[in-house]
A and B are shown apart, each in its own frame.
Chain A
Amino acid sequence: MADYVVFIWDDEQAWERADPGIVEQTMAAHKEFITRHAAALRGGHRLHTSDVSTSIRHTVDGGVTVSDGAFSETKEVIGGYYLIEAADLDEALRIAADVPAPFGGVELRPVMPTS
């Protein structure tokens, strides 16, 4: 068994413009996802929008610079994540494909085991 993180990337502006019905539907779809895959789920959260993000970069002189906003300037940002456990990539892919993401998609990444 191995752990994977499913990052939910989506377009925040599409979320804002979305019909309240669709937002409600998506939330219901997440609840259904959580119930269906309860055995594999190890965690997960919806995040606040990236306008409250803070990015912290390390500088060459050993200090840090702190800036307002998401880490990279892309239309899609990470809006939430799930931590799942699966036997292998094929099983993880099947679970990740069930994550609702009407305004974007998801990215599946294996967790590096701590030794």
Chain B
Amino acid sequence: MDPVVAAAVADAHRTEWGRVLAAAARLTGDLDTAEECAQDAYADALASWSMYGVPDRPGAWLTTVARRRAMDIIRRRDTLRDKLPLIAGPDDVAGGPDTASEDEAFPDDRLRLIFICCHPTLAPDARVALTLRLLCGLTTGEVASAFLTSEPTMAARLTRAKKKIAATRIPYRVPGPGELGERLATVLDVVHLVFTTGHTAPDGQALQRRDLAERALDLARMLRLLLPDEPAVAGLLALILLTDARRHTRTDQAGRLLRLAEQDRARWDHGEISEGLALAREALRRRPYSRYPLMATIAATHATAPAPGAPDWAQILALYDELIAIWPSPIVALNRAIAIGEANGPTAGLAALDALATEPQLAGYHYLPAARAEYLRRLDRHDEARLAYDEALLLAGNNTEHRFLATRRAQLPYAT
């Protein structure tokens, strides 16, 4: 096969899959058939592009073919009078802005698609799986490996979710202004979860799962393109960019984890940082602040620290105070406790961490004992620090983080 064509199809798969599928879904009214139409279009592309060359607008080409295939199926379905489960179409429901572009042959229905995938009545893990499968075009096997489950389990989860979409008639439309904020928050949480899973893999040899981090960045950019006036979207994209900008400096050449203070800031991605800083500023233009604009501003404070590892901790703590007021989650409380320690000294930090000791959601989360170990070390309470590192080592699933904690523990001096 022509490598140029294969590369073009692979590239179009990555950048256009969601759009092709979304356009087909508008016609077919069910997601399974839409997936088939999209798959057929990519198969046709391999054959056709090898013969006639890669078209100028591969996405438009693929969408047109997928829509034609969808029309064929609808015609056949009409003659057979099939009773297929349908998703509630955009034409038989009221309200919601229409996101189709003027170019009817190449509509952009990806927003409708992501709002179906992330509907609040679906289980959270199903939302993530559907988004990766339908918007990003990951295979069921790839989605399964991203979330450390078996392929049959993931296939069953996807089938069940699609059945619920059809049976309960989750509408294929963008929520109206009254509910957009709340519904968008669920979508952003899914994209953020994909990013954090890729940025620091919960398990395994590698620290990062770049494939997932890049998919999350693609999704955030797509949302920004389609919802340019939403501060929450600007905030999430800023947060991802400012965090992702450090991807090359998080480990040394031997694969050892480096803390922020030890990273070579010249090797941060400065293009991503300046884009992230501009978006973070924009996200703060509208009050009240939501979760992601605040988190992006915290990331921006780290990125603009005057000296390596020495950001304005007082400002970071103030931002965490605002964040916890609108989002009282144990993970935010843990990060805020660390900010207290950095801003007000290790004794204050340790007290704030110990106040979270009985939080059930943090049981089993290695960052809590790891942070305790760090402050105990600074207070020269080495024996207690060793115990805290032991606890963190038991809980850390990622090998790179595990090695980092083991090294820190080994560096503690023994009492003479």
- A residues adjacent to B (C-beta < 8 A): 2, 4, 87-93, 108, 110, 112, 115
> Could you tell me how many residues of chain B have their Cβ less than 8 Å away from some Cβ of chain A?
14
The SS class assigned to the A binding surface is mixed
Expressed in whole angstroms, the Cα–Cα distance for A2 and B175 within the complex equals 19
**In the complex the two chains form, is A87's CB within 8 Å of B94's CB?**
yes
**In the complex the two chains form, is B93's CB within 8 Å of A112's CB?**
no
Expressed in whole angstroms, the Cα–Cα distance for A81 and B374 within the complex equals 56
Q: Mark B169-190, 1 if CB is under 8 A from A, else 0.
A: 1110001000100000000000
Task: Give the residues from 54 to 101 in chain B that come closer than 8 angstroms, CB to CB, to chain A.
Answer: 83, 88, 92-94
**In the complex the two chains form, is B168's CB within 8 Å of A110's CB?**
yes
Partner of A89, one of B92, B168, B179: B168
B99 CB, nearest partner CB in chain A, Å:
17
**In the complex the two chains form, is B171's CB within 8 Å of A88's CB?**
yes
Please tell me if B167 contacts chain A, counting CB pairs below 8 Å.
Answer: yes
The residues of A that contact B119 with a CB separation of less than 8 Å are 89
A81 CB, nearest partner CB in chain B, Å:
17
Given A2-B169, A112-B167, A87:B88 Cβ within 8 A = yes
Give the most central of A88, A91, A108, A115: most B CB within 10 Å.
Answer: A88
A66 CB, nearest partner CB in chain B, Å:
31
The residues of B that contact A91 with a CB separation of less than 8 Å are 93
A11 CB, nearest partner CB in chain B, Å:
24
A28 CB, nearest partner CB in chain B, Å:
27
Closest to A115 in B: B83
The residues of A that contact B149 with a CB separation of less than 8 Å are none
B20 CB, nearest partner CB in chain A, Å:
24
Given A93-B121, A115-B83, A88:B170 Cβ within 8 A = yes
Give the most central of B92, B119, B168, B175: most A CB within 10 Å.
Answer: B168
Give the most central of A87, A89, A92, A115: most B CB within 10 Å.
Answer: A89
A115 CB, nearest partner CB in chain B, Å:
6
Task: Give the residues from 321 to 371 in chain B that come closer than 8 angstroms, CB to CB, to chain A.
Answer: none
**In the complex the two chains form, is A88's CB within 8 Å of B83's CB?**
no
The residues of B that contact A90 with a CB separation of less than 8 Å are 170-171, 175, 179
A46 CB, nearest partner CB in chain B, Å:
25
Closest to B120 in A: A93
Expressed in whole angstroms, the Cα–Cα distance for A112 and B88 within the complex equals 15
User: Can you spell out 17 A-B residue pairs with CB atoms less than 8 angstroms apart?
Assistant: A87-B92, A87-B171, A88-B88, A89-B88, A89-B121, A89-B169, A89-B170, A90-B170, A90-B171, A90-B175, A92-B169, A93-B121, A110-B167, A110-B168, A110-B169, A112-B167, A115-B83
The residues of B that contact A92 with a CB separation of less than 8 Å are 168-169
**In the complex the two chains form, is B167's CB within 8 Å of A88's CB?**
no
B322 CB, nearest partner CB in chain A, Å:
30
Besides the contacts A88-B93, A88-B169, A108-B168, what 6 more A-B pairs have beta carbons closer than 8 Å? Answer: A2-B88, A87-B88, A91-B93, A92-B168, A92-B169, A110-B169
Expressed in whole angstroms, the Cα–Cα distance for A2 and B168 within the complex equals 9
The residues of B that contact A88 with a CB separation of less than 8 Å are 88, 93, 169-171
A31 CB, nearest partner CB in chain B, Å:
26
The residues of A that contact B170 with a CB separation of less than 8 Å are 88-90
The residues of B that contact A2 with a CB separation of less than 8 Å are 88, 169
The residues of A that contact B94 with a CB separation of less than 8 Å are 87
B136 CB, nearest partner CB in chain A, Å:
24
**In the complex the two chains form, is B83's CB within 8 Å of A89's CB?**
no
Expressed in whole angstroms, the Cα–Cα distance for A112 and B94 within the complex equals 23
